[in-house]
Amino acid sequence: MSYPDITLLPILAAYFNLSVDELLGYEPQMMKEDIRKLYHELARRFSSEPYETVKAECDEYIKKYHACFPLLLQMAVLLLNHFQLAPNPQEVLEEVTQLLDCVIENGNDIRLIKEAMMLKGNCCLMMHKPEEILDMLGEQVQAIPQDQELQAMAYQMKGNEEEAKATLQVAMYQHLLSLIGDTAVYVSWEEEASEKTEEIIRRTLDLMELFQVEQLHFNVAAQIYLTFARYDCIAQKPEEAVRLIERYVECAVTEELPLKLHGDHYFDKVDDWLAELALGKEAPRSEESVKQSILQSVVGNPAFECLKEYPHFHHLVKRLEEHCGK
């Protein structure tokens, strides 16, 4: 059996319109830590360089590592977090969906596939395709899986009590943030005042104070304050809306940048888990992008138009502008 001369490989690859790697069946992979570093470097560049320049580099990595599904997933996350910078955002959403479909159809890691499905669902929402979400996830609401609880019990049975407690604490941490995040979505759909919504808001704010969510997770606290302030504007309670905006601003100006996920004295076993996430503890967008988002969530939000006649609202906007370096 004979093999072609190595010098002929580029000629053969060109003839079949393939790269040499593709011709040889070589599928390069990237390590988890390298994917994380690449993601944060490209996210930083999206805030300081032309979109097309950084997007072209993303495309090169996607082409080179076409079978590295953890990388494809994080490239999808990266593009999804910056698609609004694109000249044609809709086109980027379509590209992201194709990337995620590649992970879903060809990946062999069930957790990676589940994450890709959730991201694809978000893309479908942005593209106003609810039927695709229901086709993918089904119309029947499923019970929350108890895998983390089972893992904790398994560790406890093996005598590893510390790992068992850490696993349960991670589950508690996620359930808490999910409950509060779902509440923000629920209230964001309200278009008129109601006693039920008032009770939801009261309980959620009490829960946030109990678990000190402002210090624990800035994004969740910020989402709640903005959503509840919008509701108060609808309910014609502008003074209460301004008070919630004030809490949002206090969170923003006291939060240390760049944003990082972390535990606290109650959730004192989650930091190791957070560090092992695909992107680690760092925010998925650059510090400059985060600052712009913090400011635009108030200044560019039409829901708060009714607050412009209140001097304290203007004072809060000024504090945000100074903090964000406008």
- Torsion-angle region of 250 (φ positive above 0: left; ψ -120 to 50: alpha; else: beta): alpha
Same domain, 94 and 56: yes
What is the structure's pLDDT at 166? 97
Same domain, 134 and 148: no
* CA 39 vs CA 61, 216, 252, 282: distances in Å: 11, 24, 24, 11
Is the pTM above the cut of 0.95? no
Say yes or no to pLDDT of 4 above 70. Answer: no
Same domain, 112 and 199: no
Residue 7 within a domain:
no
Same domain, 261 and 307: yes
Q: What share of the chain is helix, strand, coil (3-state, %, to 5)?
A: 70, 0, 25
Residue 4 within a domain:
no
Confidence of residue 257 (pLDDT cuts 50, 70, 90): confident
Task: Give 214-228 pLDDT, tens digit per residue.
Answer: 999 999 999 999 999
Same domain, 61 and 174: no
Percent of the chain with pLDDT over 70: 92
Number of structural domains (the chain) is: 2
Confidence of residue 22 (pLDDT cuts 50, 70, 90): low
Instruction: Report residue 317: phi and psi, to 5°.
Output: -60, -40
What is the structure's pLDDT at 8? 67
Say yes or no to pLDDT of 112 above 60. Answer: yes
Print the domain residue range for 57. 31-139
Same domain, 281 and 154: yes
Same domain, 158 and 281: yes
Same domain, 118 and 158: no
CA distance 245 to 307: 10
Same domain, 156 and 294: yes
- Residue 260: strand pairing partners: 282
Task: Give 63-108 pLDDT, tens digit per residue.
Answer: 999 999 999 999 999 999 999 999 999 999 999 999 999 999 999 8
Task: Give 124-136 pLDDT, tens digit per residue.
Answer: 999 999 999 999 9
What is the structure's pLDDT at 18? 66
Residue 2 within a domain:
no
Say yes or no to pLDDT of 210 above 80. Answer: yes
CA distance 148 to 154: 10
CA distance 123 to 94: 8
Q: Supply the mean pLDDT for the chain.
A: 93
Residue 272 within a domain:
yes
